[in-house]
Chain A
Amino acid sequence: MANCALEIIESELGRCTQDLLAFYSSEPEERFEVIASPASDVLREFVDCSSIGLTGEYFKLSVVILAPRSTIAQFCPIPNASTADWIGELANQLVGRLKNALIDYGHEGRLSLPVTLSGSCIQLWNETASPKSYVVRTARGQIIVRLEAEVQPDSVWEPCENSGTAAEGSMCLF
């Protein structure tokens, strides 16, 4: 069941990445290529990088997002904002989406606060045997989204109806 769970997590992360970047793209018609990639995860340019964890009873995962500042700035709603701050918020919103998606498979988790750093020649080291990387190619540069996940082998991951999760962009007043 663990392999199935990893496939679900990877697939949902790819979808969440696509949807989040589409929302914040300054080009409404922009198309993204989200490619599962065995890339070496080294960007030699000056990049901003943020990592955030999500831990549930039967799984733990971390997601790292990194990209050159010029690319991140293109997805920021505020001109001249701190790209280091914004990539932390993007990581938060990305893993928040993933968390909400996994609730629909019966698994709740807790988000950590994002940890953000900036630098050049940043290389990501593997904590698990098979990290999954997505390279998002846009017209204005590439963004790397890196997932490391561990799932308890006997856990059950099946779509559940009526999880009651509030959708992104939704509002309810009490």
Chain B
Amino acid sequence: MSATVLVVDDSATIRQQVGDALSVAGLSVVEAADGVEGLEKILAGGINCVVCDVNMPKMNGIEMVAEVKKIESLAKVPIIMLTTEGAKDLIVRAKAAGASGWIVKPFKPEMLVAAVNKLSGLA
């Protein structure tokens, strides 16, 4: 059974680009357009890994990570931030909130797939 990855980004094109890269690698993909929708999808269960933007409407990515990590049963779900942001203080904040990794856009699909596989225990 393949892992299911939740892709959270307010750009439909980025969601599709990430989803295509993960699907080609044999992973199942679920999408959300902001942090609130992302949190709902994680709470619904069945998510093995999350790829999440930072700057989004309604709830940003770091806030979403913090909310997920408050829930004991979901605390071990790895969350990779995929963002244009490269500022050190944001990376530190994301790590403190419980994020598992940080990739600065634009991304190479093979790098993203390797990170998802590694953090999901598939590599």
Contacts and interface: CB of A to CB of B under 8 A. Distances in A.
Contacts of A146: none
Interface string B95-123: 10001111111111001000100110000
A166 B86 contact: yes
B57 A103 contact: no
Contact of A169 (B14, B55, B104): B104
Contacts of B17: 77-78
Given A171-B115, A173-B101, A163 B88 contact: yes
B88 A165 contact: yes
A103 B85 CA distance: 11
A108 B12 contact: no
Given A78-B13, A82-B12, A113-B57, A108 B89 contact: yes
Contact of A172 (B13, B20, B101, B118): B101
B106 to A, nearest CB: 5
Contacts of A92: 11, 55, 84
B15 to A, nearest CB: 10
Contacts of B99: 174
A14 interface: no
Contacts of A113: 10, 55-57
Given A166-B91, A168-B86, A169-B108, A174 B13 contact: no
Interface size class of A (residues with CB under 8 A): 35 or more
A28 interface: no
A85 B107 CA distance: 18
A108 B20 contact: no
A167 B104 CA distance: 7
A172 B91 contact: yes
B88 A76 contact: no
Contacts of A88: 11
A169 B95 contact: no
A93 interface: yes
27 contacts: A20-B106, A81-B12, A81-B16, A88-B11, A93-B84, A93-B105, A96-B86, A97-B84, A99-B84, A99-B85, A100-B87, A166-B88, A166-B102, A167-B86, A167-B104, A168-B104, A168-B105, A169-B104, A169-B106, A170-B103, A170-B104, A171-B111, A171-B115, A173-B100, A174-B95, A174-B99, A174-B102
